[in-house]
Amino acid sequence: MRAPSPLIPAVCLVAFSAFAQYTPSAGQNVPAAAYEEVRDLQTGSVTVRKTAVPKEITKDGHGNARGNQYDLAVDGAFDGQTVLILDQVGNTLENTRAALREKGLSSVVYPNGATPSPGELKKALEKSCQLWLISSGVPMLKAEHLALIKAFFDAGHGVYIWGDNEPLYADANRVADALVPGLRMEGNLAGNQVVGIADGKHAKVGLRAGHLITTGLEHLYEGVTIATVQFNPADGRTAALYDGEGGAARSPKLPAGFTPLLYGSVGNLVTVAYEKDGKRLLMDGGFTRLAVSWDDAGTARYVKNAASWLVHAEKFTDTVATRPTN
């Protein structure tokens, strides 16, 4: 975490956010406000103060606002919280883990070939605020694993299910169906593009505007070859999800509780958020963005925002660290 400034800026300072973990730009793709951290020189305590957005916001090469003050959560917001990652694939997670640390999130990774026993998984989940599964094309989880993950999810803890082009969603689909029956991913479509905010003029391509997870994101790299989130079994293995023309199968009707976060460049639903009955889930068909062209457009911020949302601080107010605000 970067060192906070001991100086109080000479700008208008007001209270923000019902949840002290979130920045004043929470839910805004284009930053609406910024913040600074102020340390009390006598006590050492840190206070987060809202500030005005500069007239000229520094942006990166793809047009996203540069600076952690425009992420969903303030730096260090979740000190003491752990993300548990079941990595069945083995692509590098170095950048992902570094991004999580900026928000105070430590991570424990079970790498490819080291699937924990159900007993180990139970103990690990008891120490974790959320679970990520990065799925391979070979089922590795037992029924006991699925039951433990479902209990974790039903208790309100966040789950992120990552898959990719066929066949890299074997356990992704097994876990998804256990948590929300019917949810799965299918297909193999070319991506490798940067998409902007969905504006309704170009089919459904682009990012969802106004969601907490898309805070500070006007552009995002979609991944290399990607799978498509599906719900209706009748829309299963169709040509449209592989190399055929687009259509309804690429942008299925969403059941209650689901919000599309990212439609890929060929109109397919790549990422979806689920929030219902006190539960939070993300399903994503483009895990390649965690390792390929990292932060080519927005990946680091997206990862931080997704993890911050999955902490579910709004529910676990007694166990999640907070920062005071003024």
What was the pLDDT predicted at 205? 93
pLDDT number for residue 46? 64
List 190's β-bridge partners, or say none. 225
- Give the per-residue pLDDT at 9: 32
Contact 146, 174 (CB under 8 A): yes
pLDDT of 326 reads 46
Intervals of the chain under pLDDT 50? 1-18, 323-326
Estimate the share of the chain in helix, then strand, then coil, as percent rounded to the nearest 5: 20, 25, 55
DSSP letter (8 states) at residue 75: T
Q: Based on the number of CB atoms within 10 Å of its own CB, is 114 exposed (0-12), middle (13-18) or buried (19 or more)?
A: exposed
At 324 the pLDDT is 46
pTM of the model: 0.89
Q: What is the pLDDT of residue 203?
A: 66
Contact indicator for 290, 97 with CB cutoff of 8 Å = no
pLDDT in tens, 52-74: 777 778 899 999 999 999 999 99
Which of 164, 168, 174, 166 has its CA nearest to residue 142? 174
For the domain covering 82-310, report its CATH number. 3.40.50.880
Q: What are the sequence ranges of the domains in the chain?
A: 82-310
Query: What is residue 233's predicted lDDT score, i.e. its pLDDT?
Result: 66
* pLDDT, mean over the chain: 88
